[in-house]
Structure 1
């Protein structure tokens, strides 16, 4: 059973888990994919609770998120799913059914047309309110050399949090 929470109620747990990994899930038509993310931001922008994610254009997730304009973030804050996070961060959904390979259960989102991963503790459902391609000329040189040596920059998606809930 899930209980609705405020975006700030578990912000510490969300941000700590994000550094260890979370699942970014997207859906368009019959295409569903998840990928592991370790970067993101929980914030308030334009008077709205927002979760920001970054997706490289080379990723299968990018193709789907561009079609759907929604996403979910599922966080296993009790330390579970380490192997699934590793797998989903190293395999492409173009040619691998990550949900089947990792025995992950999809559950319909409450307010978006994107599922959440039911084995996770906290679910964040978002509708994209803004996106922007990174401008390499505006990027710190150290970050550019460490994270973008191959020039594969991210698109940044700002998702208004329309529902956030925790498993009880």
Structure 2
């Protein structure tokens, strides 16, 4: 794997994010899970490169990330893993082993505890530096509230300092 700057493939990262990426977490007890995400932010805050991931309270990953210091995001940039993204976005790690069911493999990251997905092309490793629970009163756009939070299952935003970015060659 080749180390790159966090923003070197930002267009490709953001284009793929809309199609799906894998948010990977290993908690302090050694429990590992992945879930499909299609929302997030890549940016620069506090003089640090940052990726912001959103996890709903109802997700199995929420329990894990609350007991973790980091997370990774793995991006399949070549159109592969569509079925795995579907499984990891519709099934819960409470009920199945997502890695086995979707035939993907968690492998050690270079800089953090949480793994990456071996079959993906681009990986970012993030150390959690801040988290923010959504406040429903702060949603200004009523359409967002109606379409994305009609069941009141809000997100917690996890701001991760990007401590490693690399691609499979």
TM-score when normalising by structure 1: 0.98
1:30 Cα deviation (Å)? 2.7
Q: Tell me the equivalent position of 2:116.
A: 116
Q: 1:162 and 2:163 equivalent?
A: yes
1:100 Cα deviation (Å)? 0.5
Q: Tell me the equivalent position of 1:152.
A: 153
Q: Deviations over 1:49-97 (max 9, x none)?
A: 0000100011100000000121000000011000000010000001100
Q: Tell me the equivalent position of 1:107.
A: 107
- After the TM superposition, list the runs of 4 or more consecutive aligned residues in structure 1 that deviate by more than 2 angstroms: none
The whole-number CA distance in structure 1 between the counterparts of 2:123 and 2:8 is 13
The whole-number CA distance in structure 2 between the counterparts of 1:53 and 1:6 is 19
List alignment gaps of at least 5 residues for structure 2: none
Q: Secondary structure at the match of 1:67?
A: coil
TM-score when normalising by structure 2: 0.97
List alignment gaps of at least 5 residues for structure 1: none
Q: Tell me the equivalent position of 1:142.
A: 143
Structure 1 residues 53-92: aligned runs within 5 Å: 53-92=53-92
Q: Tell me the equivalent position of 1:27.
A: 26
State the number of aligned residues. 167
RMSD over equivalenced CA pairs, Å:
0.6
Q: Tell me the equivalent position of 1:11.
A: 10
The whole-number CA distance in structure 2 between the counterparts of 1:142 and 1:46 is 31
1:14 Cα deviation (Å)? 0.1
Q: Secondary structure at the match of 1:89?
A: helix
The whole-number CA distance in structure 2 between the counterparts of 1:59 and 1:98 is 14
The whole-number CA distance in structure 2 between the counterparts of 1:145 and 1:161 is 32
Q: Secondary structure at the match of 1:129?
A: strand
